[in-house]
Amino acid sequence: MQRRHWLAIASATLAAAAAPALAQGYPNKVVKLVVPFAPGGTTDIVARVISEPLGKALGQSVIVENKAGGGGVIGATQTARATPDGYELGVATVSTTAANPAINPKIPYNPVTDFTPIVNIAATPNVIAVHPSFPAKDYKGFVAELKKNPGKYSYSSSGTGGIGHLQMELYKSLSGTFVTHIPYRGAGPALNDTVAGQVPMIFDNLPSALPFIKENRLVPIVVAAPQRLKELPNVPTFKEVGLEPVNRMAYYGIYGPKGLPKEVVDKIHDGVVKALQDPAVRRRIEDTGSLVVANKPDEFAAQIKAEYDVYKKVVDSARLKLD
């Protein structure tokens, strides 16, 4: 027994000593960044903007892998279960770390304890946009049309339990309207069907919807943002229309599984910060309507917990349930 006890201590000591050594050589192979949604949405856009300059900063390629399904749960679960060595990271979103866990009791991970937050890359506004064939083109007409025809219309989102779903359900409960939810496997497919007119409206993150808005293929109705956006100066915020609880922005950050060595976390964090110091990279993010954040790991961890707490209260007070 004594010998086994000392062997256990020796093994633990060797493992603890080896971790910093492994971290010092990090990375010595390709790093994978898992996007928990299909290509074409905001999460995918932000990941692909940051992956190349982050790879240059780290000295190894960073490849993006899309793992869609379950409103982001499948991809997030893969990140939570990854080996904590820094070679498989994930893009953290409000959908995967706050909205979905708040409404879905079957989520197989704890958003607060099962990840290692590293950095929030950007905060992005959200928007309700309609197909040009929709009878209303401004907020007043939009809400009047919905109230006049409860149940007639449907909306698309990036998936059940995602931020688009939960914020729209909150909007419905506060505005006294009813619209049917049509979930997709990411914002890309949801946008495609909305732009094609198969679904009359979408609740989406602005970066993925903005190109279609600029091309007049979608009409913006109301945005979740601190103030009116320079890209959409005539579109009111949810706060302006008296619905401040809906006026919440999304975030897009990088996290890994719990237990990532601090040295690895620091290298990834510093690599992202360095990438975001490049004016061209910042411009690509800001041109989508997003705001560059680049906060510290503990700040991002606190942000994730705070956002989860907010959406849990929203779900509980409004008694929201999955369809």
pLDDT digits (tens, 9 = 90+) for 74-125: 999 999 999 999 999 999 999 999 999 999 999 999 999 999 999 999 999 9
The pLDDT tens digits of the residues spanning 254-269 come to 999 999 999 999 999 9
Q: Are 252 and 291 in contact (CB under 8 A)?
A: no
Sign of the alpha-carbon torsion through 118, 121, 123, 126: negative
The pLDDT tens digits of the residues spanning 14-50 come to 444 444 555 679 999 999 999 999 998 899 999 999 9
Q: How many other C-beta atoms are found inside a 10 Å radius of the C-beta of residue 45? A: 25
DSSP annotation string for 119-131: EEEEEE-EEEEE-
Domains parsed from the chain with CATH numbers? 27-123+251-318 (3.40.190.150), 126-246 (3.40.190.10)
Spatial separation of the C-alpha atoms in residues 207 and 45, rounded to whole Å: 8
Helix (H) or strand (E) holding 199: none
86: left (phi over 0), alpha (psi -120 to 50) or beta: left
pTM for the whole structure: 0.83
- Beta-bridge mates of residue 124: 250
Closest CA to 257 of 73, 119, 116: 116
Give buried/exposed letters for 171-184 (b at 16+ CB in 10 A, else e).
bbbebebebebbbb
Helix axes 262-276, 42-58, angle to 10 degrees: 110
